[in-house]
Amino acid sequence: MSPSSRIEALAKVARECGLEHIVLLSGRGEEGAQRSEAALKASGINTTILRASWFCQNFSEGAFVEQILGGRLQLPAGEISEPFIDADDIADAAVAALTDPHHRNKTYELTGPRALTFRQAVAEIAAATGRPIEYEQVSMADFTGGLADAGLPQDLIDLLKELFGQVLDGRNSGTMGGVAEILGRPATDFSEYARRTAATGLWS
């Protein structure tokens, strides 16, 4: 069953149970995400769509953290920039969407306040930690092979391959004002995320 079919089935059950509103965390510029959004909207239930850029937390909680700890992040990404979003901002936006009816049937584009390349993001993490951490661009084959050798599940490897191979092409480099629109405050800058995370000792 495709993700959009799962969303359609979920919305059907939700309506049957009397649920009035669903908040969907979606992706930016991803065809699969757009199909899931359409399936949810077609159900007739009230929706709020939160389209988020790449998470800052990928560097501290996700697929990249082990390489950051090892001192070198290797990815198949060149000089395309991405406005990384702090997951705490996404969580705050989701709470607002769930608790304030004003946000029903709206779509918010959630990004950080500036776009960075992965090389620049790694440099900011290195500066925050005081450790030498390097970035190296590698081929897609080397990247996916390394993930498989590290034991990552195939569905995650396929997702990362799609994101790096198709979505990270510049289409999402622009910053958007969704965080300020829904929360009434600026989005968290990547440098603040890096300083806050470095202070926990996680990257030491």
For 116-171, give the DSSP string. B-HHHHHHHHHHHHTS--EEEE--HHHHHHHHHHTT--HHHHHHHHHIIIII-SST
Compute the chain's Rg from CA coordinates.
Answer: 18
Q: What is the pLDDT of residues 117-140, one digit of tens each?
A: 999 999 999 999 999 999 999 999
Segment 192-202 mean pLDDT: 98
Q: Which residues pair with 46 in a beta bridge?
A: 21
In angstroms, rounded to a whole number, what is the distance separating the alpha carbons of residues 115 and 118? 10
In angstroms, rounded to a whole number, what is the distance separating the alpha carbons of residues 119 and 73? 9
Q: Give the mean pLDDT of the chain.
A: 94
Percentage of residues in the chain having pLDDT higher than 90: 76
Confidence (pLDDT) at 62: 79
Q: What is the pLDDT of residues 14-24, one digit of tens each?
A: 889 999 999 99
Q: Give yes or no for residue 1 having a pLDDT over 80.
A: no
Q: Are strands 134-137 and 46-52 parallel, antiparallel or unpaired?
A: unpaired
Handedness of CA 92, 93, 98, 101 (dihedral sign): positive
> How many DSSP H helices and E strands does the chain contain?
9, 5
Which residues make Cβ contacts (< 8 Å) with residue 20, sequence separation at least 6? 45, 46
In angstroms, rounded to a whole number, what is the distance separating the alpha carbons of residues 83 and 95? 22
Report the predicted TM-score, pTM, of the whole model to 2 decimal places.
Answer: 0.92
Q: What is the pLDDT of residues 41-94, one digit of tens each?
A: 999 999 999 999 999 999 999 778 999 999 999 999 989 999 999 999 999 999
Q: Give yes or no for residue 163 having a pLDDT over 80.
A: yes
In angstroms, rounded to a whole number, what is the distance separating the alpha carbons of residues 101 and 78? 41
Confidence (pLDDT) at 121: 98
Residue identified by tokens 């050798």 is 149
Confidence (pLDDT) at 191: 98
Confidence (pLDDT) at 2: 82
Residue 193 pLDDT class (50, 70, 90 cuts): very high
Confidence (pLDDT) at 166: 80
Tell how far CA 23 is from the center of its chain.
Answer: 16
Domains belonging to the chain, first-starting first, are: 3-199 (3.40.50.720)
Which stretch of DSSP H or E encloses residue 8?
helix 3-16
The residue length of the chain stands at 204
**C-beta of residue 140 within 8 angstroms of C-beta of residue 107:** no
Residue 160 pLDDT class (50, 70, 90 cuts): confident
